[in-house]
Amino acid sequence: MHKAMEPFKEAARAIEKARTMIITAGAGIGVDSGLPDYRGDKGFWKAYPMYEELGINYYDAANPVHFSNDPVFGWGFYAHRIDLYRNTKPHKGFELLQKWIEQRQMDYFVVTSNVDGQFQKAGYPEEKIYEVHGSIHHLQCSVPCSNAIWENTESLSVEPATMRAVNILHCPRCKEVSRPNVLMFGDFAWISKRSDKQRSNFHSFLKNCHFPMVVVEIGAGMIISTIRNMSENLGRKHKAQVIRINPRDYHISPPHISIPCGALQGLRGVDQSFSINK
């Protein structure tokens, strides 16, 4: 066998043995759908050249302070992203994972640091998803006047040259500015109620699922390492085998499996390596 094929085969074997699959995903999973992953200031400015001109990096843009100081500017970044995510079709890799789960009738759960709602868009049921940093498609009050979280069904647009929002949204209760229900940088106002509920669903799932367990980790970065830590903890606590798919930071110690590829290429490689390909 060609050496480059070995991790694919190993991963396919781990999935064939498992009765439960946990999918853990970071920003890298979206790259093959055409979404930016904001790698460093350069990566961020490649996606948002207008912010480079304004001298603003990701940490500055994703900052809750704008919603009180300059809401039209604060909303600009999120209005742009909401529109982008609504108009993005999840790539084939999402479908391959669903196919593996269905064919083997596996128990499964998705844990993601992405706020883009792409798993829901790919058809994964809401109750099978834990969004650790919240969802950009949900809103809360920026004050906040209550811990209410509601779905964002409004359409938003942004003036691309200035990244200022054409329209902004308000809290229906106190009429102050509303904001996306996502964890921003230096954020003390994020309401975690929705994510907490998802986490508790995930924990009850772990109590009742079947073993052995396999973790398929896709595109999880090292700078904010929540997802990588989650995969490794599942490995330790539940004796799960972790398959780490990542084009750059792919290292993980055996018995876990390292696949040095982007999301779609990695998932396709595994898909082609099952012993019985239904």
Is 145 or 166 the residue whose CB approaches Zn ion more closely? Answer: 145
Question: CA-CA distance, 270 to 46, in Å (whole number)?
Answer: 31
At its nearest, how many Å lie between Zn ion and the CB of residue 139? 10
Q: How many residues bind Zn ion (CB under 5 A)?
A: 6
Is 7 or 144 the residue whose CB approaches Zn ion more closely? Answer: 144
Is 99 or 173 the residue whose CB approaches Zn ion more closely? Answer: 173
At its nearest, how many Å lie between Zn ion and the CB of residue 174? 3
Is 17 or 173 the residue whose CB approaches Zn ion more closely? Answer: 173
At its nearest, how many Å lie between Zn ion and the CB of residue 82? 20
At its nearest, how many Å lie between Zn ion and the CB of residue 150? 11
At its nearest, how many Å lie between Zn ion and the CB of residue 191? 11
Is 156 or 171 the residue whose CB approaches Zn ion more closely? Answer: 171
> What is the DSSP pairing of strand 129-131 with strand 107-112?
parallel
Give yes or no for a contact between 267 and 243, defined as CB atoms under 8 angstroms apart.
no
Q: Is 148 in the site for Zn ion (CB under 5 A)?
A: no
At its nearest, how many Å lie between Zn ion and the CB of residue 141? 3
Q: Which two tokens stand for residue 92?
A: 């084939």
Of the candidate spans 133-141, 157-165, 229-237, 256-264, the one that interacts with Zn ion by CB under 5 A turns out to be 133-141
Is 84 or 174 the residue whose CB approaches Zn ion more closely? Answer: 174
At its nearest, how many Å lie between Zn ion and the CB of residue 178? 7
Is 12 or 149 the residue whose CB approaches Zn ion more closely? Answer: 149
User: Which x/- pattern over 155-184 shows residues binding Zn ion (rule: CB under 5 A)?
Assistant: ----------------x-xx-x--------
State which of positions 1-60 bind Zn ion (CB under 5 A): none
Among 76, 102, 84, CA closest to 30: 84
**Side-chain half-sphere CA neighbours of 188 within 13 A:** 1
Among 136, 141, 230, 259, binds Zn ion (CB under 5 A): 141
Question: CA-CA distance, 278 to 262, in Å (whole number)?
Answer: 24
Contacts for 225 with CB less than 8 Å, ≥ 6 apart: none
Degrees to nearest 5, angle at CA 30 with 217 and 254? 20
Question: CA-CA distance, 36 to 28, in Å (whole number)?
Answer: 8
| Interaction site with Zn ion (CB under 5 A) | 141, 145, 171, 173-174, 176
